[in-house]
Structure 1
Amino acid sequence: MTHPPSCVYVTHLVAPKYGSTPTECEDAVVVLPDRSHDEMLREPLTVGVCDGATESALAKDWARLLARTVAEQAMQLPDLLKPGPAYEQFAASAVDQWDPWLAQYTKERIEAGRPLKWYEHTKLADGAFATLLAVRVDPDDGPRTETDDPSPGWRWRAAALGDSCLFHLRDDRLVKAFPVEVAEDFGTVPDLFGSRNHDAALLADRTRFLEGTCLPGDRLFLATDALAAWYLSAPDPLAAARELLEFSGPDDLDRFVDWLNGLRERQQLRNDDVAVVRIDFEGR
């Protein structure tokens, strides 16, 4: 018997660190298809979440380029987010886009009367760096046997380089954390995706891959490192998850920022840019 697919709702929020403006934020999120957060989705969706490394030049621009590239290519290739040649080809194509982008950026700076300074050229030679978390979600609407769960579900596949994290929740309780599983494993120097790293095999080797299944009522949260570390270190994970669930759409951004600042004031959250994507799986 073939069951009709359930639907999902997707929303995301991005906020700069305290003292910075939104244009200075180095976290980037791309969700495809690009729909309103209150629109039901019954087709495949992809997400790219990248956290630019502050110590590198143009990190926010590289994070945005990388997030869009992985979301677009994962939408085109269902098997991209697993070990193999498709992922290596994505890694190579993302890096290949950097020099043309940088040439256009340099040209625009010259035309605006703000040519790059000598020290900017020096830093740009090293490249830009960012973490990468990518997810593709597909409706699992194939035939089922009598022993299968009768609820229509969704299959997800994820790839992670660095410490941006995916959390799979069921009944608001953590089922899986990926790639960091405990707060103590967050380090000061995570693996990073470099804009000048032309060794696609090395990038693929440093990437971790995982897949799973979500049922109606489940949720996926994708978060950059500061918020992910807060959640994994929370003394009451259930209460922490329910705090996150208070924010369900872009209209909640101001409240979200106020909440983040409250955590920062209580020294529960490191003062860093924050990005979170929430995927809700609904049945019918």
Structure 2
Amino acid sequence: MTFPIAELISLPRRHGSSPDGEDAGGFDEVRGRFVLSDGAGSAFSARTWARTLVRHFINDPEAGWHEQAVASWRAGLTLRTPRTRRAAEQGSAATLVGLAMADGVGWQATAVGDSCLYVLRAENNLLPEAFPIAWGDRFPAAPELWTTGRPPRLARLAGTAAPGDVLILATDAVARWASAGPPSIWRWLATTETEQLSATLAKYRDESEIEDDDLSVLIVRPPL
């Protein structure tokens, strides 16, 4: 049995408060789990929460694990001062886009907020299918977030992948930039070598073509 192949690029924000950025990503090709999460910059310990969501999604994409994820996040905090304890009580937040593939063909996507999935069909050089923000819709100024409070409303989409299709997961900065560009940008994202893609995205950000934010892209190729 063959499995999907995944490539992850994650570039921390140049002038962010965290040297590692607030994005998190991961995948398990054998189990068919692929996910990105973008921690809300204004939230407490957002990168830790994003990483927690990624880990739990890979283990169980059905997402019936909100309480366990919150408990795991809290257990990992170091709260030495009254200020950090108060901040922890306010909780954390992140967006998420995840993909679960069965047999490398059927897939189900889950999303909260403005991290997106794009499905580029092998036989179609036009715009890919976009989820959860459809073509023509604006990216929200205040996207919905997966918080450590109550479980979120999950957007879901199911489909099938054919040989040669490419599924692209992206956090908001990359998604906004690519959505505003020409259709050819999607084929470029899908076919460029990882090292060159990472360097080019960083260059575009340095030149302010892409906003100064964490940049994460996860490219998933179904088995041939």
Structure 1 residues 170 and 17: CA distance shift in structure 2, 3 A: same
Deviation at 1:189, TM superposition (A): 1.0
RMSD, matched Cα: 2.2
> Which piece of structure 1 moves more, 208-217 or 43-52?
43-52
* Structure 2: stretches of 5+ with no match in the other structure: none
For 1:26, the equivalent position in structure 2 comes to 22
> Aligned runs of 1:74-223 on 2, under 5 Å?
74=61, 80=62, 87=63, 89-102=64-77, 105-106=78-79, 116-139=80-103, 154-171=105-122, 172-182=125-135, 184-195=137-148, 197=149, 199-200=150-151, 203=152, 206-223=153-170
State the percentage of identical aligned residues: 27
Q: Give SS of 1:24's match.
A: coil
Cα deviation code 1:75-128 (max 9, x no counterpart): xxxxx2xxxxxx3x22232223222222xx34xxxxxxxxx3433232222011
Report if aligned partners of 1:164, 1:222 keep a CA contact under 8 Å in 2.
yes
Contact 1:163 1:186 (C-alpha < 8 Å) held by counterparts:
yes
Aligned residue pairs total 222
TM-score (norm 1): 0.71
Amino acid aligned to 2:69: A
**CA distance 1:21–1:215, shift in 2 (3 Å):** farther
Superposition pairs of residues 57-76 of structure 1, within 5 angstroms: 57-74=44-61
User: Deviation of residue 257 (structure 1)?
Assistant: 4.2
Q: Does the 8 Å contact 1:167/1:222 carry over to 2?
A: yes
The structure that has the greater radius of gyration is 1
Alpha-carbon distance in structure 2 between the residues aligned to 1:262 and 1:57: 30
The one of 237, 258, 264 aligned to 2:199: 258
Amino acid at match of 1:190: P
Q: Which residue does 1:55 correspond to in 2?
A: 42
User: What are the Cα deviations for residues 195-233 of structure 1, in whole angstroms up to 9, with x where unaligned?
Assistant: 2x1x33xx2xx2101100110000000000000111111
Match of 2:187 in 1: 242
The CA deviation at 1:45 is 0.8
Q: Normalized against structure 2, the TM-score is what?
A: 0.88
- In structure 1, the gaps of 5 or more residues are 34-42, 75-79, 81-86, 107-115, 141-153
Residue type at the aligned position of 1:136: A
